[in-house]
């Protein structure tokens, strides 16, 4: 099928909507920079409006593309020799859905930001970068070739850098944004190597074309693992996850966006996109990495004290689950979890943001200062923030995987896939399954702990504050997202994950999920009970609180040595390489002095040493300065006779 044919297969309305969905965020980015300083408030109207338009377009695209042949469109980007590098769009069910989810969540975050960021000095930059962030993510979603994905991949990194570091006067934010970008770059370097492998062996980056190529498993394993490096960086997998908790320094809506729809999900989406590249060997690595990440994230979330960090580790853990599912050969399950997670995690963050926002406002009024994100200082907020409480509970339930919530469905899908996988493959696959089960248990624990600490019990530091619910622009998005966290949107049957999404975003394998669903429900309820029973306990583990010291390790073992190496090379540059130059300069002095021997009379004493060293020392310094003609003659004669004797011999 030529690109033209596919174009005709879809209505021009579809194309316009697709273009709109992609271009409007970019337009938002450009326009926001053009708004003058004076009217910067206008951006908070303009950007959400454009995002809304984009969301509508995406909805149309989703509606029209759903269960239709994939829409493809290609242009030559540039060409070299007989190879062309194309830029193209490929929209199938998964990407159309992702398109909608990304734009939708982004729109909600935009709206929420109107309230949350009101009064910020750099509002234009904020909304512009939000637009750009969304645009970059959309780029990844619809691109039809790996190079283009890599391009947007990096742009996502860039926009996250800008957003995490939005409050760049704060050193911590600046540090966090820098680290996020650099750690992502480490993964990207791996991704790039993967691209090189693909190019060298396949001579194309086009995903569909690659799918059709006869491929050699050895280099496919290598290439897919390299590409997985990129995923590890972007989706915060072990060991490159440390940037994610740090990224909480950014504004909370940004965190919501990063964790729900953009950035971290990009990795999982790419895994789904390029899943055919992964050989079983590579998939094993993927599964193990995912399981480790999920486990680490879940346990680390247990002993965090910062609301956002708990959520961050929880995201990491959830991403681990998705990656593990990918590794287990169930991309549909992973994607399903991706979508459900997008909504409830966004809701969780926005709710957390709501708490932070409300308490900040209150603090501001009563001039009290404490860390509003530290849950040890919070408590009993249920009465003061009832709406937020409900939102938190709903989305938290989804996260915990309680039945009737979306999380239950997708987690079920993953578990079912893993059960199937462990039945068919090597024995150690069971370990992964067990780990995942453990993770879902721990998820319940920390979610319960979070909700309980914040909303139940006595008020601590907040007792004296006059706290009010956030404005409606913030509450509305939360409500929408909470609504999207119930099962109904994903499958009619609250206990069966094989709904319309699961069955159509890929070549879904139908697992017999009934037993797993029951077991899972029971498991979660057991966990809930345990959580309630241990509600007062504190888990103070430095190991967990510090994220297993991976961060510390990377600082001590990688960053510091690198800096020391840089220092070393810098000194080497000055001392050795430059020093060599200077040494040659000294050598010149020496040579000049040696030749000066000829002209001057250094050797006066040397030659006549036999006659009397003492006598000549006096004339030594003087002889240094000027020429004695007889010495001139002596040296000339000496040179000649040496030369003659040397030749005669």
Nearest to other proteins of 515, 624 (CB atom) = 624
As measured in angstroms, the least distance from the Cβ of 233 to other proteins is: 10
Alpha carbons 546 and 559: distance in angstroms, whole number: 17
**Beta carbons of 321 and 414 less than 8 angstroms apart:** yes
Of 99, 156, 126, 149, nearest to 28 (Cα)?
126
Q: Output the CA torsion sign for 552, 557, 559, 560.
A: positive
Sites for other proteins among residues 578-597 (CB under 8 A): 578, 581, 588-589, 591-592, 595-596
Q: Residue 188, interface with other proteins (CB under 8 A)?
A: yes
As measured in angstroms, the least distance from the Cβ of 19 to other proteins is: 17
Read off the tokens for 364.
Answer: 């501001």
Q: Interface with other proteins by CB under 8 A: which range of 112-120, 164-172, 237-245, 305-313?
A: 164-172
Site string for other proteins, 92-131 (x = CB under 8 A): ----------------------------------------
Tell me which residue of 375, 376, 391, 377 sits closest to 470, measured CA to CA: 391
Distance of CA 233 to the CA centre of its chain: 5
Question: Who contacts 466 (Cβ-Cβ below 8 Å, separation ≥6)?
Answer: 362, 365, 366
Stretch that binds other proteins, among 179-187, 271-279, 284-292, 511-519 (CB under 8 A): 179-187
d(CA 181, CA 179): 5
Q: List, in sequence order, every residue forming a beta bridge with 145; answer none if it has no partner.
A: 206
Cα dihedral: 298, 302, 308, 311 (round 10): 30
Closest to 509 measured CA to CA, from 334, 269, 340: 334
Q: Nearest to residue 629, comparing CAs of 603, 602, 599?
A: 599
User: Minimum distance between the CB of residue 122 and other proteins, rounded to whole angstroms?
Assistant: 9
In angstroms, what is the minimal distance from the CB of 635 to other proteins?
Answer: 7
Shortest spacing between CB 597 and other proteins, in angstroms: 10
Query: Is residue 628 part of the contact set for other proteins (CB under 8 A)?
Result: yes
CB closer to other proteins out of 197 and 450: 197
The CA–CA distances, whole Å, from 54 to 87, 136, 278, 588 equal 21, 14, 33, 72
For residue 85, give the H/E element and its range. strand 83-91
Q: Which of 15, 42, 182, 530 binds other proteins (CB under 8 A)?
A: 182
Q: Nearest distance from residue 624's CB to other proteins, in Å? A: 10
Distance of closest approach, residue 584 Cβ to other proteins, in angstroms: 9
1 scored as a contact of other proteins (CB under 8 A): no
364 binds other proteins (CB under 8 A): no
**Interaction between residue 209 and other proteins (CB under 8 A):** no
- Closest approach of other proteins to the CB of residue 181, in Å: 6
Nearer to other proteins, 489 or 597 (CB): 597
Question: Which of 558, 511, 587 lies closest to 185, judged by CA?
Answer: 558
User: Which SS3 state, helix, strand or coil, does residue 251 take?
Assistant: coil
Binding mask 547-566 for other proteins (x = CB under 8 A): ---------------xx-xx
Q: Which of 153, 130, 330 is nearest to 234 (CA)?
A: 153
- Backbone CA torsion sign across 631, 634, 638, 644: positive
Part in contact with other proteins (CB under 8 A); list of ranges 145-153, 299-307, 468-476, 515-523:
145-153
Q: Is 169 in the site for other proteins (CB under 8 A)?
A: yes
Assign 371 to helix, strand or coil.
coil
Per CB under 8 A, 426 contacts other proteins: no
The interface region with other proteins, picked from 50-58, 304-312, 424-432, 620-628 by CB under 8 A, is 620-628
Pick from 53, 89, 102, 197: which binds other proteins (CB under 8 A)? 197
Which string of b and e fits 262-290 if b means at least 16 CB within 10 Å? Answer: bbbbbbbbbbbbbbebbbeebbbbbbbbb
Reported in sequence order, the residue ranges of 303-397 that DSSP labels E, i.e. its strands, are none
- Does residue 638 touch other proteins according to CB under 8 A? yes
**Is residue 178 a contact residue for other proteins (CB under 8 A)?**
yes
Residues 501-540 that bind other proteins (CB under 8 A): none
Considering beta carbons, is residue 189 or 390 the nearer one to other proteins? 189
The CA-CA-CA angle for residues 596, 598, 602, to 5°, reads 65
Give me 648's structure tokens.
Answer: 């005669």
Apex 387 CA angle, 106 and 41, nearest 5: 45
Is 281 an interacting residue with respect to other proteins (CB under 8 A)? Answer: no
Residue 113 structure tokens: 């930001």
Nearer to other proteins, 196 or 472 (CB): 196
Q: Please give the Cα distance from 173 to 262 (Å, whole number).
A: 19
Closest CA to 138 of 76, 57, 80: 57
Q: Of the two residues 8 and 170, which places its CB atom closer to other proteins in the complex?
A: 170
- Total of residues contacting other proteins (CB under 8 A): 86
Among 50, 89, 195, 409, interactor with other proteins by CB under 8 A: 195
Q: Which of 466, 556, 573, 583 binds other proteins (CB under 8 A)?
A: 573
Is residue 151 within the footprint of other proteins (CB under 8 A)?
Answer: yes
Tokens (6 digits) for 505: 């975003």
Residues in contact with 154: Cβ distance below 8 Å, sequence separation at least 6, in sequence order: 188
> Which residue among 168, 361, 496, 546 contacts other proteins (CB under 8 A)?
168
Among 253-261, 316-324, 502-510, 641-649, the segment contacting other proteins (CB under 8 A): 641-649
Q: Which is nearer to other proteins, 50 or 603 (CB)?
A: 603
The total of other beta-carbon atoms located within 10 Å of residue 188's CB is 20
Piece of 423-431, 448-456, 518-526, 571-579 that binds other proteins (CB under 8 A): 571-579
CA distance 588 to 577: 17
Nearest distance in Å: CB 553, other proteins? 17
- Of the candidate spans 74-82, 301-309, 319-327, 349-357, the one that interacts with other proteins by CB under 8 A turns out to be 74-82
The answer to whether residue 23 forms part of the interface with other proteins (CB under 8 A) is no
- Residues 2, 369, 621, 625: which binds other proteins (CB under 8 A)? 625
Q: How far is the CB of 577 from other proteins (least distance, A)?
A: 5
| 613 near other proteins, rule: CB under 8 A | no
Residue from 76, 488, 526, 613 touching other proteins (CB under 8 A): that is 76
Nearest approach, Cβ of residue 173 and other proteins (Å): 8
Query: By C-alpha distance, which of 248, 262, 259 is closest to 165?
Result: 248
| Residue 476 C-beta: closest distance to other proteins, Å | 33
Asked whether position 74 contacts other proteins by CB under 8 A, the answer is: no
* Partners of 75 in beta bridges: 87
The token pair that represents 320 in the structure block: 């681990």
**Shortest Cβ distance from residue 189 to other proteins (Å)?**
4
Would you give the DSSP letter of residue 574?
I
Q: Which is nearer to other proteins, 56 or 277 (CB)?
A: 277
Q: Would you count residue 598 as binding other proteins (CB under 8 A)?
A: yes
CA distance 623 to 368: 85
């Amino acid at each position: 099928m030529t690109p033209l044919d596919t174009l005709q297969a879809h209505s021009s309305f579809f194309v316009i909507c697709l273009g709109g969905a992609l271009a409007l965020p970019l337009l938002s980015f450009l326009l926001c920079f053009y708004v003058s300083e004076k009217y910067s408030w206008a951006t908070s109207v303009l950007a959400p409006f454009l995002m809304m338009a984009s969301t509508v377009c995406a909805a149309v695209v989703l509606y029209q593309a759903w269960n239709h042949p994939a829409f493809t469109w290609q242009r030559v980007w540039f060409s070299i020799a007989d190879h062309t590098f194309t830029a193209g769009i490929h929209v199938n069910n998964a990407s159309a859905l992702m398109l909608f989810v990304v734009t939708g969540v982004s729109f909600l975050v935009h709206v929420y930001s109107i309230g949350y960021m009101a009064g910020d000095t750099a509002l234009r930059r904020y909304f512009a970068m939000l637009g750009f962030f969304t645009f970059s993510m959309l780029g990844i979603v619809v691109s039809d070739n790996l190079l283009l994905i890599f391009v947007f991949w990096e742009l996502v990194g860039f926009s996250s850098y800008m957003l995490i570091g939005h409050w760049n006067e704060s050193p911590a934010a600046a540090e966090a944004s820098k680290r996020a970008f650099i750690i992502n770059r480490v993964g990207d370097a791996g991704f790039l190597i993967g691209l090189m492998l693909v190019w060298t062996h396949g001579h194309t980056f086009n995903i569909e074309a690659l799918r059709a190529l006869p491929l050699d498993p050895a280099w496919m394993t290598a290439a897919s693992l390299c590409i997985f490096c990129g995923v590890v960086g972007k989706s915060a997998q072990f060991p490159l996850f440390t940037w994610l908790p740090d990224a909480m320094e950014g504004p909370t809506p940004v965190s919501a966006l990063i964790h729900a729809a953009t950035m971290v999900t990009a990795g999982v989406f790419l895994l789904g996109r390029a899943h055919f590249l992964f050989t079983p060997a590579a998939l094993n690595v993927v599964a193990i990495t995912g399981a480790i990440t999920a486990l680490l994230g879940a346990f680390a979330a247990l002993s965090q004290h910062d609301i956002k960090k708990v959520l961050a580790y929880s995201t990491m853990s959830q991403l681990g689950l998705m990656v593990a599912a990918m590794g287990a050969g169930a991309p549909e399950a992973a994607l399903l979890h991706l979508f459900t997670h997008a909504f409830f995690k966004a809701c969780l963050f926005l709710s957390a943001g709501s708490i932070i926002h409300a308490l900040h406002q209150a603090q501001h009024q009563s001039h009290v200062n404490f860390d509003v994100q530290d849950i040890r200082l919070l408590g009993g907020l249920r009465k003061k923030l009832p709406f937020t409480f409900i939102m938190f509970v709903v989305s938290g339930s989804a996260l915990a995987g309680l039945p009737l919530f979306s999380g239950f469905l997708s987690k079920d899908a993953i578990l079912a896939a893993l059960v199937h996988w462990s039945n068919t493959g090597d024995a150690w696959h069971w370990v992964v399954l067990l780990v995942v089960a453990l993770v879902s248990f721990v998820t319940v624990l920390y979610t319960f702990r979070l909700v309980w600490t914040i909303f139940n019990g006595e008020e601590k530091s907040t007792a004296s504050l006059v706290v009010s619910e956030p404005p409606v622009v913030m509450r509305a998005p939360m409500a929408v997202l909470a609504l999207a966290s119930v099962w109904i949107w994903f499958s009619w049957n609250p206990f069966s994950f094989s709904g319309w999404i699961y069955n159509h975003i890929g070549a879904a394998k139908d697992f017999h999920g009934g037993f797993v669903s029951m077991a899972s429900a029971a498991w979660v309820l057991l966990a809930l009970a345990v959580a309630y029973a241990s509600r007062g306990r504190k888990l103070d583990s430095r190991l967990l609180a510090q994220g297993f010291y991976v961060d510390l390790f990377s600082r001590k073992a990688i960053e510091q040595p690198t800096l020391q190496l840089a220092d070393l090379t810098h000194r080497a540059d000055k001392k050795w390489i430059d020093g060599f130059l200077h040494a040659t300069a000294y050598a010149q002095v020496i040579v000049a002095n040696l030749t000066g021997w000829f002209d001057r009379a250094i050797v006066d004493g040397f030659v006549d040493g036999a006659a009397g060293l003492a006598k000549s020392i006096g004339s030594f310094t003087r002889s240094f300065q000027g020429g004695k003609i007889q010495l001139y003659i002596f040296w000339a004669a000496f040179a000649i006779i040496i030369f003659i004797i040397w030749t005669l011999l």
